[in-house]
Structure 1
Amino acid sequence: MIQETIVTSLSTDGQCHIAPMGVHVENDFLIILPFRPSLTLENITHSGCAVLSHSDDVRVFAGCLTGRRSWPLVAAERIAGMRLRDALSHQELELVRMEDNAVRPRLICRVVHTATHASFTGFNRAQFSVLELAILVSRLDRLPKEKLESDLAYLRIGFEKTAGEREREAWEWLMEPIDSRRRKTEGDGL
């Protein structure tokens, strides 16, 4: 199973890096698989820990992919780390081992602390659409134009039926790099 979450990690100088990631759940372990090069990879291998923040605010996911990485943080409870202040819940992780790979190493972590901060009231279809669009944007340089356009058309259906203010803002942010790619490919005659 893969959970879409926000991973926070601290650099050697104490700066917090915020990154949306799909974290794999395997038995009693959580596996973080960052692509190289990666600040998340550097930070976790140096510090030996990370925090997963579970949020229903899809703007955090969209924002991190579009250069909007300034989200309110608070200190973790049991490890040297930070979590999203407005997270519904969070898990504090300790690195157990790393399985090295030239492209995408596996950081095998165990949960050392879990806390719930607010109730989860459920996702709407627009939140799903924004999360899926965020994943497309993270792979924009590898997607064929036809795949992007067909997925975008499908995601827009649920988005338009159920979006609130947060989802609309996140969608607009994610459309910026897509529209930029469209202009570039049209200008290149592709």
Structure 2
Amino acid sequence: MIREVIVTSRSPDGESHIAPMGIHVTGEDRLLMPFKPSRTLDNVLATGVAVMNFTDDVRVFAGCLTGRRAWPLVPAVTTDCPRLAGALAHAELRLLRHEDDPLRPRLHCRVVHEGNHAPFRGFNRAQFAVLEAAILVSRLHMLPTEKIEAELAYLRIGLDKTAGAAERKAWGWLMERIEQHRRGSP
């Protein structure tokens, strides 16, 4: 099973980093497979810890992919790595082992602490659409334009029917990023 979460990590010099990621759940362990190059990869290898943050605020996912990474953080309980202040829940991870790979190294981690902070009330279709669009944005360099356009057209149906202000803002950020990609801007 893969959980779409926000991963927080910290560099050895104390700089926090926030990134969306699909985390593989394998029993008690969690498998992170960031694409190279990756600040998350560098931070986890250097410090041996990370935090999985569970949030229903899709602006965080869209924001991280569009240069908006200034989300409030608070200290975690057992690791020297922050968590999202607005997380519904979080899981603190310790690195067990690392398998290098030229494209996607495998970071095998163990959950060492979990905390629940607010109830999860479920995703509406617009939130789902933003999450899927965020995944597309993270792969703009790998996917054909036709696939991106077809998937966005389908996702827009649910967005148009159920979006609130937060989902519209997040969607707008992602569409701006896609337009930049189309124009060849970084």
Offset at residue 48 of structure 1 (A): 0.5
Paired-residue identity, %: 62
TM-score, normalised with respect to structure 2: 0.97
Q: Does 2:137 align with 1:137?
A: yes
For residue 145 of structure 1, report the CA deviation from its aligned partner: 1.2
Match of 2:25 in 1: 25
The structure number with the bigger radius of gyration is 1
* Whole-Å separation in 2 of the counterparts to 1:46 and 1:111: 18
Matched AA of 1:43: N
Give the structure 2 partner of residue 108 of structure 1. Answer: 108
Structure-2 change in CA distance of 1:35 and 1:183 (3 Å): closer
Name the counterpart of 1:6: 6
Secondary structure of residue in 2 paired with 1:46: helix
- Residues in 1 aligned to 2:112 and 2:130: alpha-carbon distance in whole angstroms: 30
Q: d(CA) in 2 for partners of 1:175 and 1:130? A: 10
SS at the partner of 1:74? strand
1:157 and 2:157 aligned:
yes
2:128 is equivalent to residue 128 of structure 1: yes
Q: Which 5+ residue runs of structure 2 have no aligned equivalent?
A: none
1:50 maps to 50
Give the match for residue 147 of structure 1: 147
Q: Which runs of 4+ in 1 moved over 4 A?
A: none
Q: Does 1:40 align with 2:27?
A: no
Shift of 1:184: 4.7
Letter in 2 for 1:105: P
Following TM superposition, by how much is the alpha carbon of 1:180 offset from its aligned partner in structure 2, in angstroms? 2.3
TM-score calculated relative to the size of structure 1: 0.95
